[in-house]
Amino acid sequence: MKNTDRILHIVAPLAVFGALAWLLAFGVGGYTASLLKGAAITLMLAVSSLVLATVLGLLGAWAKVGGGLILRSIANVYTIIIRGVPDLVMILLIYYGGQRAVNQVATSLEYEPFDVSPFLAGFFSIGIIYGAYLTETFRGAWLGIPRGQIDAGKALGLPPMLSFRKVLMPQLLRSVLTGYANVWQVLVKSTAVVSVIGLSDLVGLADKIGKSTREPFVFLMVVMLFYLVMTIVSERGFKWLEHRSDRWAA
């Protein structure tokens, strides 16, 4: 192991973890619990919108690869428009515009309109945005599989579903992994933007507490370190997964 590698992969992560733990324990004076709650909300938002994005990505990829003209055009318009608009614009549009739309639909159907919470708006907008990116990831992975593999499954007499599960799926997972990890890393950072519509996630809380205690730097530093920890942990996790999924590969 080279010296630089050692510093990069062992010393730096330990320093980041240590600094975060120290700040949470001694630096933020009594706000530890609420900061941890905010971190939990950020995590929940990230994971739940990843689920939505995955579902949308699978649907979009299926529509692009196997759908007819109409489905294909819908999927194309979806990915083209969403990838051209910043996440912040999308979030504001869904939060304010979405509330207006809910009110209009609900009153015309004579239901009681419900409030669109910041969490819900963030969940939908981040899910929809990264669904568009994942559509491309999944489509690319599908197109990357040689057609011969499908024929081979047929030649072995496997029923279509079994062939999909045993022949195509493992290969798909393997080639999707890098792109998926990428999208996750960017998605996590995107959750910070949801604080703009008033969600009490880690960023929103740190901003509020920092302003009231007149120590904004300390609290924003906690946020920075938290996101760094997330990045480091997910990088390691995905690296392990990649390593694992490559076990059978030459």
Partner 1 sequence: MNFDLAFKHWDLFAQGVWMTLHLTALSLFIGMMIAVPTAFAMLRGGIAGNVAHGYVYLFRGTPLIVQTYLLYYGLSQFEVIRDSWFWRPPSYLRKACFEDFLYWKICVADFIPSLRSAWWCAVIAFSLNSGAYVAEILRGALKNTPKGELEAARAMGLTDKQVRKLIHLPSAIRRALPQYGNEVIFMLHGSSVASVITLQDILGTGRTINAKYYVAYEGFLSAAFLYLCITYILVFLFRAVERHYLKHLNIAEPSAKRGWFGRTVAVPAR
Measured CA to CA in angstroms, residue 47 lies from 40, 41, 187 at distances of: 11, 10, 9
Among positions 77-96, residues that touch partner 1 (CB under 8 A) are: 79-81, 83-90, 92-93, 96
Q: How far is the CB of 140 from partner 1 (least distance, A)?
A: 7
Q: Which of 19, 52, 59, 220 binds partner 1 (CB under 8 A)?
A: 220
Residue 215 near residue 169 (C-beta atoms within 8 A): no
N- to C-terminal Cα distance for the chain?
24
Residue type, 103: N
50 binds partner 1 (CB under 8 A): no
- Give the footprint of partner 1 on residues 167-186 (CB under 8 A): 181-183, 185-186
Residue type, 29: G
Q: Which residues contact 2 (CB under 8 A, 6 or more apart)?
A: none
Instruction: Indicate the length of the chain as a whole number.
Output: 250
What residues from 118 to 157 belong to the interface with partner 1 (CB under 8 A)?
A: 133, 136, 140
Is residue 8 close enough to count as binding partner 1 by CB under 8 A?
Answer: yes
Question: Whole-angstrom Cα distance, residue 231 to residue 225?
Answer: 10
Nearest residue (CB) to partner 1, 185 versus 200: 185
- Ranges of H-type helices in 84-215: 87-92, 98-108, 118-143, 147-155, 160-163, 169-190, 202-213
Q: Is 107 in the site for partner 1 (CB under 8 A)?
A: no
Smallest distance, Å, CB 138 to partner 1? 13
- 244: contact with partner 1 by CB under 8 A: no
- Binding partner 1 (rule: CB under 8 A), the pick from 113, 171, 200, 215 is 215
What letter does residue 29 receive in the DSSP assignment? T
Residues 192-211 that bind partner 1 (CB under 8 A): 192-193, 195-196, 203, 207, 210-211
Q: What is the 3-state secondary structure (H, E, C) of 70-103?
A: HHHHHHHHHHHHHHCCCHHHHHHHHHHHHHHHHH
Minimum CB distance to partner 1 smaller for 32 or for 99: 99
* 108 belongs to the binding site for partner 1 (CB under 8 A): no
Binding site residues, partner 1, CB under 8 A = 2-4, 7-8, 12, 76, 79-81, 83-90, 92-93, 96-97, 99-100, 133, 136, 140, 181-183, 185-186, 189-193, 195-196, 203, 207, 210-211, 214-218, 220-221, 223-224, 227-228, 231-232, 235
